[in-house]
Amino acid sequence: MSRYFFHVRERGGRLHPDDYGVDLPDAEAAFEEALLGARGLMDDAALAGEDVSGQCFEVTDADGHAVFTVAFLLAVEDEPRRLFH
C-alpha cells in the first residue's frame, strides 16, 4: 500500500492541500479514487449552485512527488481516459 494525497487546485491557481492522504494499493486505484472524489465534489457544488468544473486534483505520493493530475471534468465523461494499462 502507498499513501496518495489529493490536493485540489482551483481554476484561479489556489491550492487546497490534502494533509491526510489515503492508503491505496497502486496509482490506478488512486486514479479511480480521484474520479470518484471529483464526481462527489461536482455533485455537491451543483446542489449549492457553484461551478467547480475548472478545478482538478493534483495527486502526489508520500514523498511529495507528482503522480498525475485529474481534471474534474474528466470525471463526468462516459469513458474517462485511463492513464494506466
Q: What is the pLDDT of residue 76?
A: 80
**Is 81 inside any structural domain?**
no
User: 36: domain range?
Assistant: 2-76
**Is 41 inside any structural domain?**
yes
Check whether 22 has a pLDDT greater than 50.
yes
**Is 44 inside any structural domain?**
yes
Q: What is the pLDDT of residue 85?
A: 42
- Secondary structure of 24-69 in the HEC alphabet? ECCHHHHHHHHHHHHHHHHHHHHHCCCCCCCCEEEEEECCCCEEEE
Residue-wise pLDDT tens digits, 25-80? 999 999 999 999 999 999 999 999 999 999 999 999 999 999 999 999 988 876 65
Q: What is the pLDDT of residue 19?
A: 97
Overall number of domains in the chain:
1
**Is 25 inside any structural domain?**
yes
**Is 20 inside any structural domain?**
yes
**Rounded Cα distance, 14 and 10, in Å:** 5
**Is 17 inside any structural domain?**
yes
**SS3 (DSSP) at 19:** coil
**Is 82 inside any structural domain?**
no
Q: What is the pLDDT of residue 77?
A: 74
